Structure 1
Amino acid sequence: MVAVGLQAGIASAAPEPGGSPVDRGELPAKVTPAERAALIAEAEDRGPDTAEALNLHSKTELRVKDVVQNRDGSTHTRYERTWSGLPVLGGGIIVHRTPDGAIDGVDKATEASVKVPTTQAPASQKPATPKARNSKAPRKVIWAAEGEPVLAWEKVVGGTQEDGTPSELHVITDAKTGEKLYEYQAVHNGTGNSMYSGQVQIGTSGSSGSYRMDDTARGGHTTRDSDNGNAVYTDADDVWGTGSPSNGQTAAVDAHYGAALTWDYYQEVHGRDGIRGDGVGASSRVHYGNAYVNAFWQDSCFCMTYGDGRNNQHPLTSIDVAAHEMTHGVTSHTAGLVYSGESGGLNEATSDIFAAAVEFHANNSEDVGDYLIGEKIDIRGDGTPLRYMDRPSRDGVSLDYWEPGAGNQDVHYSSGIANHFFYLLSEGSGQKVVNGVSYDSPTYDDQPVTGIGIGKAEQIWFKALSEKMHANESFADARADTLEAAGELYGQDSPEQLAVAHAWAAVNVGDRPGDPGDPGDPGDAFENADDVSIPDAGSAVTSSITVSGLSGNAPSDLKVGVDIKHSYRGDLVIDLLAPDGTAYRLKNSGWDSADNVQETYTVDASSESANGTWKLRVRDVYSYDTGYIDSWKLTF
């Protein structure tokens, strides 16, 4: 292994005073690939017992996707489900165990029971195998991500997207009716910096006269030339590239270096060896297409692919783009955030979040850590970044704050909500200069947010991603998961957990914290988190909350927080029923193409007694879409 010039500094984030993770036990442990394999094997062995303990049907089988072990010995095992041998899409389960192996908690992506006949699909409804290149024959699955589980077909359509990116479009259709239920893109696009990281050291193999871009210290990660049949780069003297895009090796150097920094970051900061956590390196491919202005990750080849950018002079191969693309792989092998709707925005944001984190961790003087995405590739030809985390709308299209229908936006634009949250959590609101870059971050409610530093923010996001998030995560779900992660890392009601609540409220997800005992809402709060199914075009259902211990009447600004999972919110009529039966209309039915209802309504209930049984009444007035009341809350 021979250096190309000077070693670029690689420094771990400096420890921050106060708010240390509780006994540090909730931080992920650093396990070897062999130890991780043993954890997975153990989880596989007790899969049947786990299924029985969770009262799952005998036709259900649990298959281990990932295991995270914390430093105190506790584990978080992510299972995928099958039903009669069929994959259950949206049926993921996370089982939390104490150091002695006892089940300490369970998170399910859906509470709906999976009891689906597997032979009800008429042959006429089976989709034809797509003709496009890389398409796959349809497979029979159980669709459980939305509403009641149904038998379905999943087909993967290959080909290319509009900008030339390969396509792996997953389309889910009802096996009985042929109706399309869902679709998402499995090739994850993203962009980052140019190749300007200065003179760096890269990991290679071989000997004088025959060196390869094969980083044996990092799982055998290889970098390959798309212009040469994806062959691994070779060189005689182990001195690679010139720093100019006219030299074909230069882009390869940046891609290889960026992959190494990303590997080091996940290993040193989060105890994860490689994308899958199994110590196996992926591969990078450079010079894809002609003047291709993008980069993408593919699970199918376990690889990142980079274009050469505008006029083939701006390869998308710098530190943050490598981190962005590799993080798509990490996300795929942890939460598996589906690349569509709100979960797609969270997927993209996760890649941007860790792109920034890797850049700060690398401490490269030529490409300093910042909260800008693609600031050097000049993708628009005017020198502006592709995305801004401090105020995402500066790019003209990204969302600063959550809004109804956010899940219908392009995932690169809805990602702005979580990007903005992460910036606020790290640095706080208002004007600030970090590493010579000026930022000015606003908030939805014009109230300030105090940051806790990127070192703590990245730990909170990774813990939520690897231990708590599910495939069809919403922004409201991400708020709940990051609050829980912050509480486990730094303590309940800690400044860090309160900061998480403040930062989400600042992007219009949830409320500001008030009472220290309730990091999510001010005042006296009462909640019902029991699921209640909402029949399709049926009679109204109710969920009750009994309020006691208060005096006098309810306030004139009673807050009613509603979280309903539903595939078409326009079908729903929602009322609050006071203890005396008086109904307060919260939402009418009507055209509204978004899914789910995650809103906080304000009701003048000053004429009602505060104590008593309050009810949330929900009716689905139109056919075809289903859902359930996930939870609701009253805050006095």
Structure 2
Amino acid sequence: MVVLALQNGAATAAPESVNGASALPLSASARAAALKSAQDAAGSTAAELGLGAQEALVVRDVVKDADGTVHTRYERTYAGLPVLGGDLVTHVAKSGALKGVSKATGARIAVASTDARISAATAKKAALADAGSGNASARKVVWAAGAKSVLAYESVVKGVQADGTPSELHVITDATTGKKIYEYQGIDTGTGTSEYSGTVTLGTTAAASGGFDLLDSGRGGHKTYDLNGGTSGTGTLFHDADDAWGDGTPANRQTAAVDAAYGAAVTWDFYKSAFNRNGIAGDGKAAYSRVHYGNAYVNAFWNDSCFCMTYGDGSGNSHPLTSLDVAGHEMSHGLTAATAGLKYSRESGGLNEATSDIFGTSVEFFANNSADVGDYLIGEKIDINGDGTPLRYMDKPSKDGGSADYWSRNVGRLDVHYSSGVANHFFYLLSEGSGAKTINGVSYNSPTYDGSTVAGIGRAKAYQIWYKALTTYFTSSTDYAGARTGTLKAASDLYGAGSAEYNAVAAAWKAVNVQ
């Protein structure tokens, strides 16, 4: 196992934790060196883990805790083919001893042959038929997310969903029988005067030709672009003569850009303050934002392919989906993609959505903005329902008419925005506890599955536990049972086994019927 060494000045102090389990931030050069070191030793690591002769490890991320523990995240290949659902994380103590391994699958990875009986063209044709339309590509892979490894094709069909959202549908086809095994969606569905957050400070850059560009060089170079109704490309970088942006109304094209840029800045600052994380991928590089997507498009999305956030203008082009919690939500899809890679389908998809709700909510509280105070309501500013109600409720998710309050065997069959309710409810209970209460002027009354009373440990501890689990224990296939295991491990790392925080995590999961 490779133990990550940090040079002097490569990291700053980690947030306070009981057992020194908070992650140390790495400079760009230190991170690159850590990744290279881990990759150079990947062969010996694979052997120590007992992987097969045809298996190899490809390093995705390295995290070092303040106590010296190193968590290294890997993808796997088999006979040179990518293995989907074979990702794993090793946990190595400062001494070099292996403390444990978190695996997406416990099954041994092997296929009888890497020769496919059907062609890539046949797999693409089937995927196109499944998607309805679009342009498809296909690659041969080993599918390891099921009970048994299967030689397969991964086809990616790019097109447009019914509501105008871009589509990147991933279809997994058995390379022997031609049958579809699995599918998931690859698209996870801002001084200026903003529409939702009042007058805010923006990071801008003086342009060489005069005036200012909406480019935040202090936060990785984040840029905000105007798509002007388009649905592709980056559009035009926002530019202003006097560095005073927007007027608080949707009629001014800069207003949505102010909200988007502000949201990205606050999210970046939250990651840095709470987790010592330097940007979405931890490499100091910013994503970018695009506003005014399409015509009356009622959605916002993260696209990992462009590493960007995109926002529509809402119904009648009068309610841009650029509120602070929505911006934090979309940016956090990028965080999930850069860490656990939770597949956007079934229970892992619900956990993916919940992660964005959890951190989007945490960003809103962190901002401490009197025009948009922190709450456990998702999208309450954008009036997406047309009646002033929020998009989702974390204290009792079922209030939206579709989300699940508690886990059941059917949760994985729900749309991921509804199956996320179980984890959202868990996070609320862990943060604030059960029963009736008023927080920042909003009334909540959170129930429990078993009628138990849950005492909260505070939002800051709750999001530390979730972040720790996401970045070191969750894998692409983590389900609700796995999330319970991962957050209990995270609570033990941060606060000690048997601590009040550990017991609260267990109680909150029990209260949403995950045991």
Same fold flag (TM > 0.5): yes
The question of 1:26 aligning with 2:21 is answered: yes
1:135–1:168 CA contact under 8 A, matched in 2: no
Give matches, 1:232-381, under 5 Å: 232-381=237-386
Shift of 1:210: 2.6
Give me the whole-angstrom Cα distance separating, in 2, the residues matched to 1:78 and 1:144: 17
Partner of residue 604, structure 1? none
Q: Deviations over 1:539-577 (max 9, x none)?
A: xxxxxxxxxxxxxxxxxxxxxxxxxxxxxxxxxxxxxxx
User: In structure 1, the residue corresponding to 2:77 is in which secondary structure?
Assistant: strand
Q: Percent identity?
A: 59
Shift of 1:135: 3.2
Partner of residue 100, structure 2? 105
Partner of residue 151, structure 1? 151
Q: Which structure shows the bigger proportion of residues in helix conformation? A: 2
Q: Which structure 2 segments of 5+ residues have no match?
A: 1-14
Q: Deviations over 1:215-262 (max 9, x none)?
A: 111111110001176111111111111111100000001100100000
Give matches, 1:26-105, under 5 Å: 26-105=21-100
1:400/1:311 Cα in 2 relative to 1: closer, same or farther (>3 Å)? same
Shift of 1:311: 1.0
Kindly report structure 1 stretches of 4+ aligned residues shifted beyond 6 Å.
130-134
User: In structure 2, the residue corresponding to 1:202 is in which secondary structure?
Assistant: coil
Q: Deviations over 1:28-76 (max 9, x none)?
A: 1122222211211111111111001111112111111111111122211
User: In structure 2, the residue corresponding to 1:123 is in which secondary structure?
Assistant: coil
Q: Match of 1:84, as an amino acid?
A: A
Give me the whole-angstrom Cα distance separating, in 1, the residues matched to 2:204 and 2:73: 34
Give me the whole-angstrom Cα distance separating, in 2, the residues matched to 1:176 and 1:356: 45
1:84–1:118 CA contact under 8 A, matched in 2: no
Give me the whole-angstrom Cα distance separating, in 2, the residues matched to 1:449 and 1:104: 31
Q: Which structure 1 segments of 5+ residues have no match?
A: 1-14, 511-636
Give me the whole-angstrom Cα distance separating, in 2, the residues matched to 1:315 and 1:410: 23
1:424 corresponds to which of 419, 426, 429: 429
Partner of residue 210, structure 1? 211
Give me the whole-angstrom Cα distance separating, in 1, the residues matched to 2:36 and 2:44: 14
Shift of 1:461: 0.2
Q: Match of 1:45, as an amino acid?
A: D
Which range moved further: 432-441 or 110-119?
110-119
Give me the whole-angstrom Cα distance separating, in 1, the residues matched to 2:72 and 2:258: 37
Give me the whole-angstrom Cα distance separating, in 2, the residues matched to 1:59 and 1:214: 46
Partner of residue 183, structure 1? 183
Larger-Rg structure: 1
1:209–1:237 CA contact under 8 A, matched in 2: no
Q: Deviations over 1:454-505 (max 9, x none)?
A: 0000000000000000111110110111011101110111010000011001
Give me the whole-angstrom Cα distance separating, in 2, the residues matched to 1:162 and 1:397: 20
Give me the whole-angstrom Cα distance separating, in 1, the residues matched to 2:262 and 2:295: 23
Partner of residue 127, structure 1? 123
1:136/1:66 Cα in 2 relative to 1: closer, same or farther (>3 Å)? farther
User: In structure 2, the residue corresponding to 1:77 is in which secondary structure?
Assistant: strand
Q: Match of 1:249, as an amino acid?
A: Q
Q: Match of 1:331, as an amino acid?
A: T
User: In structure 1, the residue corresponding to 2:181 is in which secondary structure?
Assistant: strand
Give me the whole-angstrom Cα distance separating, in 1, the residues matched to 2:351 and 2:291: 27
User: In structure 2, the residue corresponding to 1:91 is in which secondary structure?
Assistant: strand
Q: Deviations over 1:119-147 (max 9, x none)?
A: 33113574136778873421000000011
Give me the whole-angstrom Cα distance separating, in 2, the residues matched to 1:284 and 1:128: 31
Q: Deviations over 1:485-530 (max 9, x none)?
A: 10111011101000001100100111xxxxxxxxxxxxxxxxxxxx
Partner of residue 445, structure 2? 440
User: In structure 2, the residue corresponding to 1:432 is in which secondary structure?
Assistant: strand
2:124–2:136 CA contact under 8 A, matched in 1: no
2:323–2:382 CA contact under 8 A, matched in 1: no
The question of 1:396 aligning with 2:404 is answered: no
2:323–2:379 CA contact under 8 A, matched in 1: no
Give me the whole-angstrom Cα distance separating, in 2, the residues matched to 1:147 and 1:312: 47
